[in-house]
Structure 1
Amino acid sequence: MVSNGSSKRHVCYYYHEDIGSFHFGPKHPMKPQRLAAIHSLVVNYGLHRDMLVLKPPKASSIEMERFHSKDYIEFLQRVSPKTADQYEHLFAQFNIGEDCPVFDGIYDYCAISTGASLSGVARLNHGLSDIAINWSGGLHHAKKREASGFCYVNDIVIGILELLKYHPRVLYVDIDIHHGDGVQEAFYLTDRVLTVSFHKYGNYFFPGTGDMYEIG
């Protein structure tokens, strides 16, 4: 759908200059610095000239608690490498470990990625943009009360909940090789969100969900 009667689609692209500075650990496959590299490519190829480039505000704890439990978000606010010993007794409860480690700025990282998705959704809801891009988002494994698969806060679920305030139904398409289990689980019992996931399934491949018969 094209807004404002224009034949050219209006694209907004969110980038926060701090996003590439977060570090999950030297051997961890999740590398936020790749997001800075992507932004560099966008600029050097001149793609930014065809988009509205915006710096996203950080999502608030209240916004993240629209999906996640309050105790989990408070844990993310307080935990850090310096306070890890103090909160280690909660690691198993919130699935913190090798895949989802504690690192410096963990809460800010989540706030930036979620804030970008929420800001993009707001522009879509109000007809200010036709397409919103957030390369730092798409963290589809995070659950209501726990981290999973390198994901801590599920910006997708939070964004869809905002879309549902303005639209009767939402179609979510996931093309990651891993099943978007966190998003499917969040909306499994509603007919207002259709989740379509193209992923690898079987042979104990993470996360082990996404069977063709999981239709909600």
Structure 2
Amino acid sequence: MASGGNLQNSVSRTVGYAYSPQLVEACNSLPRIHGRALLCADLIRAYGLHEHLRIIEPKGLTMSALSSFHSEDYLENFYNLCAEDDPEKIDKEVMEEYGLGYDCPVEEGMFDNCSLIAGASVMAAESLINNQVEVAINWCGGWHHAKRFEAAGFCYINDVVLAIQKLREKFERVLYVDLDLHHGDGVEDAFYTTNKVYTLSIHKYSPGFYPGSGKMQDVGDGKGLYYSLNIPLKDGITTQQYVSLFQSVFQMVCERFEPEAIVCQCGADGLAYDEMDSFNLSSDAYVHCVESVLALNLPTLLLGGGGYNFTNTARVWTLLTACALRLSLPNDIPDDLESIMDYKPDFELHVPSGNRPNENKESSVESLLRVVKGCVNMISKTTLLSSNT
């Protein structure tokens, strides 16, 4: 164990960090991730990274701002259900209609909390638009399953879509990259018919695995044909396979699409030892992928998402924060961290690879890459056709 000092910096980069005690508290209250946001914020602080970050203090979004994506009916019912203090008066049919209940339970104050989290992502996007920062981060964001008319998959307000819409006020073409174990269906759906936002999701695809979407064949529609790209993977993929596949695909997409800004959802549930128990990824997998994104030196928004081993999620998001700052960190967890015992037995920052059986044969990965290349190559053809009509 060590102190949080000895940070090594190469060339500095201006990085914005959405943070306030209220934001952390709001995120801590969400289903399935109670306490995770505080662990992450504390680890970032313990390493002294906050001293290098430009703090973006978030505010909740108004109904009008939220309705730029979500339907007014959904927002009004979500708001009213959260305001109801008598459970017996809650209309179960209304809840079911809007996806509220089961994996999206309604609790008092939840609407305001989700509005604040979404506000953090939108304000982070604004800081990029205004050239205040080169990279912006909201580890409390990344709720990519929420739909226009309903909540889904523990996601109530799709801050990702709202942030991309904000970026589109300045940037003609925005690339969305989704590293979460689960398919980024809500974001893909929102931009499925436009060629202004390219959605790239690399995720687990298996019968019965949520959300059940994200096939290779899902490539967009209308003007958005071939502007959605899905890379479905099986259990056990290794760090080397994942990084090699991602970097090849990402490079191809950027060459064809030529994005002006990037949003990267960094859901950490693909890490080895996550509760999802699916991939064998080490923290290096996320670092290498995000380094590839940042290497383009485009305005970039980094968001959170899944990650149900909370200490490992805090580890990888701290590493990615340092990556954005071009800082290298000591591998020993700082010994003045209040929650240090959560990091036993190794008390180390890096998350090692797992050893689950790998169902992704090299031949199938190579075949997948060939199909992906064909889809990406269609971009220039569809662009040419649309410009001639």
Per the normalisation by structure 2, the TM-score is 0.51
Q: Which residue, out of 167, 176, 197, partners 1:163?
A: 167
Take 1:87 and 1:161, find their aligned partners in 2: how far apart are those partners? 32
Deviation at 1:32, TM superposition (A): 4.0
Give the 5 Å matches for 1:173-188: 173-188=177-192
- Equivalent in the alignment of 2:40: 38
Match of 1:82 among 63, 75, 85: 85
- Alignment correspondent of 1:100: 104
Distance 1:101 1:16 in 2: 25
- The residue type paired with residue 56 of structure 1 is P
Runs of 4+ deviating beyond 3 Å: 21-24
Is the deviation greater in 88-97 or in 122-131? 88-97
Aligned-partner Cα distance in 1 for 2:45–2:158 = 28
Task: Find the counterpart in structure 1 of residue 71 from structure 2.
Answer: 69
Q: 1:58 aligns to what?
A: 60
Confirm or deny: 8 A CA contact 1:157 1:183 kept in the other structure: yes
Cα distance between partner residues in 2 of 1:211 and 1:172: 17
Q: For 1:145, what is the secondary structure of its paired residue?
A: coil
Cross-structure match for 2:217: 213
Residue pair 2:56, 2:123 contacting (<8 A) in 1 also: no
Which position in structure 1 is the counterpart of 2:29? 23
Q: Which range moved further: 144-153 or 57-66?
A: 57-66
TM superposition shift of 1:162: 1.1
Give 3-state SS (helix, strand or coil) of 2:17's partner.
Answer: strand
Amino acid at match of 2:85: K
User: Are the counterparts in 2 of residues 138 and 156 from structure 1 also a CA contact under 8 Å?
Assistant: yes
Q: Does 1:172 align with 2:176?
A: yes
Contact 2:181/2:204 (8 A) holds in 1 = yes
Gaps of 5+ in 2: 1-10, 221-389
Name 2:50's counterpart in structure 1.
48
2:18 to 14, 17, 22: 14
Q: What's the secondary structure of 1:79's corresponding residue?
A: helix
Give the one of 133, 146, 149 matched to 1:145. 149
The Cα shift of 1:131 comes to: 0.6
Q: Is the 8 A contact 2:180 2:203 kept in 1?
A: yes
Q: Check the 8 A contact 1:79/1:102 in 2, yes or no.
A: yes
What whole-Å deviation, never above 9, does each CA across 1:101-136 have from its counterpart, x for those lacking one? 011211111111100001001010111111111011
The question of 1:132 aligning with 2:127 is answered: no
Question: 1:89: Cα distance to partner?
Answer: 2.9
Task: State the 1:83 CA deviation.
Answer: 4.4
Provide the C-alpha distance between the structure 2 equivalents of 1:181 and 1:169, rounded to a whole number of angstroms. Answer: 20
